[in-house]
Amino acid sequence: MSALASAFMKWELLLLMGILSTSTATELPLWNGDMPGRGADQPETTTSGPGNNVLLIHNVSVPSLSFFPAPDNGTPNPIVIVCPGGGYGVLAYDLEGTEVAEWLNSIGVSAAILKYRVPKNRAGALQDAQRSVQLVREKATEWNIDPKRVGMLGFSAGGHLTASCSNSANRPDFTVLVYPAYLFKEGGVVLVDEIKVDEKTPPAFIVQAQDDLPYYRSSLAYSVALDAKGVPVELHLFAKGGHGYGLRPSARPVSGWPKLCERWMVEMGFLDDQ
């Protein structure tokens, strides 16, 4: 049995035992009447994505953070803020949200899913991401988390949001970018101007497939920018895999990224070896 198959069997077993469950989440608003910027023009709704196997959230005006605690092991846990993708138009809330929180819990990491403002509201989304980092650190004692091991994990547009937040006032301590989008200038592998990497940018673990043609240079551009500033970066570029796979298993090697990410977190000191 492969390590990947074993990991997913462990994850499924925990779900069946009830140790992991989306019902254990605590949702709290990011803002208490002091939200900067604007919300959506239409009421919030949910729909099913392609094949009816992805839950999509539309028109977010009340951004929130849903906390999924990892099992108490006697010491404060690391935490990862999860930023679902969706092109800044919707949020793929299960594929790139709740399923990711369940995996993180299974490896001893608490999770907080960020429901940020959409559609077409990058400024509001960044404000929400920055506030989420601040809020998580404020809740460190209550949530039994280590305020110095606060990560952020983003998919596609959520990867762009993660990179943006990582180079702003409220930064996480480490980041995971999975098929990030919108990070390179057309025609090359140069990072977009609005993201300014410096020596304080947190370390990154990046996953992308080369056949993700509209976006794969985002990972190259961000990796090059991090390397130029001496920021630790681990890039996994797979030949095939496309876009939007989350962490649902398949026969392609890119499906092994969760185990690679777990080992990276251990090696970097963000996760205790289990």
DSSP secondary structure code for residue 247 in this structure:
T
CA distance 245 to 214: 15
Contact 190, 159 (CB under 8 A): no
Query: pLDDT tens, 226-271?
Result: 999 999 999 999 999 999 999 998 889 999 999 999 999 999 999 9
Cis bond leading into 119, ω under 30°? yes
Residue 234: strand pairing partners: 205
pLDDT at residue 78, as a whole number: 98
Query: pLDDT tens, 85-96?
Result: 999 999 999 999
List b or e across 230-267, with b for residues whose CB sees 16 or more CB atoms inside 10 angstroms: ebebbbbbbeebebbbbbeeeeeebbbbbbbbbebbee
How far, in Å, are 27, 192, 211, 219, 258 from residue 253 at the CA level?
34, 29, 13, 18, 11
Q: What's the pTM value of the predicted model, to 2 decimals?
A: 0.91
Question: Looking at residues 187-205, what average pLDDT do you find?
Answer: 96
CA distance 203 to 4: 24
Which stretches does DSSP call E strand in the chain? 26-29, 45-48, 55-58, 64-68, 77-83, 90-92, 110-115, 145-155, 174-178, 204-209, 233-238
Side chain identity at residue 101, one-letter code: A
Compute the C-alpha angle 154/176/78, nearest 5°: 105
Question: Looking at residues 106-125, what average pLDDT do you find?
Answer: 98
Predicted confidence (pLDDT) at residue 70 exceeds the cutoff of 70: yes
Query: pLDDT tens, 150-175?
Result: 999 999 999 999 999 999 999 999 99
Residues with Cβ < 8 Å from 209, sequence gap 6 or more?
179, 216, 237, 238, 239, 240, 241, 242, 243, 254
In the chain, the largest separation of any two C-alpha atoms, in whole Å, equals 52
Query: pLDDT tens, 32-46?
Result: 999 999 999 999 999
How far, in Å, are 24, 32, 62, 75, 252 from residue 71 at the CA level?
11, 29, 29, 10, 31
CA distance 109 to 172: 15
Query: pLDDT tens, 8-22?
Result: 333 343 333 333 444
pLDDT at residue 141, as a whole number: 97
pLDDT at residue 175, as a whole number: 98
Question: Looking at residues 201-215, what average pLDDT do you find?
Answer: 97
Cβ neighbours of 35 (radius 10 Å) = 18
Tokens of 117: 């403002």
Question: What is the three-class DSSP state of 115?
Answer: strand
Ranking 24-28, 54-58, 170-174 by mean pLDDT, the lowest is 24-28
Predicted confidence (pLDDT) at residue 216 exceeds the cutoff of 80: yes
Domains recognised in the chain with CATH numbers: 3-267 (3.40.50.1820)
- Scanning the structure block, which residue is given the tokens 């996953």? 207
Distance of CA 162 to the CA centre of its chain: 7
pLDDT at residue 24, as a whole number: 73
pLDDT at residue 50, as a whole number: 79
Tokens of 260: 């690679």
pLDDT at residue 123, as a whole number: 98
